[in-house]
Amino acid sequence: MKRLGFTTSEEGSLGVEIEFQIINPKTGHLMSRAKELIRSIKQSRYQDHIKPEITQSMLEINSSIHSSSKSLYKEFLKIRAFLLDQAKKMNLYFCGGGTHPYQEWASRKIFPAPRFRNISMQQRYLSKRSVCGLHVHIGCKNAEDALYLTHTLTRFVPQFIALSASSPFFLEMDTGYHSSRSHLYSLHPLSGVMPYLLTWQEFSNYYYKMRKLGVINSMKDFFWDIKPKPEYGTVEVRVCDAPLTIKKAVLIAAYIQSLSLYLLREKPVSPTADQYLIYEYNRFQASRYGFAGDFINPYNLRHTTISNDIINTIKTIRKYTHSLNNTNLINRLKKDVLAQVNDATLSRNIYKKTHSFSKVVLQHCALWEKGS
């Protein structure tokens, strides 16, 4: 039977995409200026790294392929500096965060690209209510490794949600969640987890069947939390909120890189169908409670907190963190976990001091510009 091709990549290599928001510097509202900005950077050295997203109030920056999280950070700082120069010329701001705290979804405009128009026609209000995420790609040597990594990383999804959570507010309300984005994103068709397919031939059969049925046109139409990207030779972790700073995005990427290399090299567990029985429970706990959420280990069924699970994982993967020169970055992330602080906590603290959602957004913009 037909087998889906897979591009070979360097094991553990790293690529990152960060979605972010375009902001009115006076009001903190979203601005539909992506089309104008994309037009203005044509012929620039960064045109291939700055892409439109489905609404015109969003943009995405894409990294090159890196073996080092430190070189990734240096590249993102250069892209950010270039974007900030463009922002000054156009009188606009940028900010991170998984959701805008108060913008009405109906006021958003779809970016005029054929794929985005098609999605908008199918999904209607879901497409305008799109939220901002962090996507981390990990290189794999072959398709079988990519499938193994996709399955085994799902056990750590609650960690990724808690670490990146930055969307406590939505439609001018405190949702009570650390990551309302991850909950909202679950409403999209073909979201959640990849089906329990254990061989690349099974995955290929599934992919081509879905295409034949007209359910999908390409791998882009799967919105799973984690998925293989055979055209890149990677596994893509898609469940994270967009952090408030470039630095935080790199810290999270370094953690996922170190963890993935541990899983690929040691293959400490075998995927089982039972690990998905409590997947939604663990995912909800992270979205709702962040680091304090309850976590049930799918392999031994023991309860712990998500923060304790992260600390224990950091100990387990220490060898690979060191080999990738990620130790300082992971130690910085560990401090946040021990302090029970993520970007959602930070946003709530800003609101408690200012009692203003617009001031929350403008402080988010300051963090995006200067955060390190």
What is the per-residue pLDDT across 16-50, written as a single tens digit (0 to 9) for each?
A: 999 999 999 999 999 999 999 999 999 899 999 99
Contact 41, 96 (CB under 8 A): no
Inter-residue contact 34 to 51 (CB < 8 Å)? no
Position 125 pLDDT exceeds 80: no
Per the model's pLDDT, the better-predicted residue between 130 and 365 turns out to be 365
Rounded CA gap, 136 and 145, in Å?
17
Output the pLDDT for position 128.
Answer: 62
- Does the pLDDT of residue 1 top 80, yes or no? no
* Count of beta carbons in the 10 Å neighbourhood of residue 3: 13
Residue 124 · residue 142 · CB < 8 Å: no
SS3 content of the chain, % helix, strand, coil (to 5): 50, 15, 35
Share of the chain above pLDDT 90, in %: 88
Q: Are strands 294-296 and 50-52 parallel, antiparallel or unpaired?
A: unpaired
pLDDT of residue 372: 67
pTM metric for this prediction = 0.97
| Cross-strand partners of 305 | 294
Written as six digits, the tokens of 189 are: 């068709």
Both structure tokens of 249: 């995005």
Q: How far apart are CA 261 and CA 150, in angstroms?
A: 13
**Mean pLDDT throughout 311-340?**
98
The residue type at 167: S
Residue 260 CA, distance from chain mean position: 15
- Mean pLDDT, the chain, as a whole number? 95
Question: How far apart are alpha carbons 353 and 111 in whole angstroms?
Answer: 36
- pLDDT score at 196: 96
What mean pLDDT is predicted for residues 214-238? Answer: 96
- For the record, the structure tokens of 99 come out as 């959701």
Among the residues of the chain, which ranges form H helices? 34-40, 69-90, 114-123, 125-128, 143-153, 157-164, 180-185, 200-212, 246-266, 279-289, 306-316, 318-323, 327-339, 343-354, 357-370
Structural domains of the chain, with CATH: 14-370 (3.30.590.20)
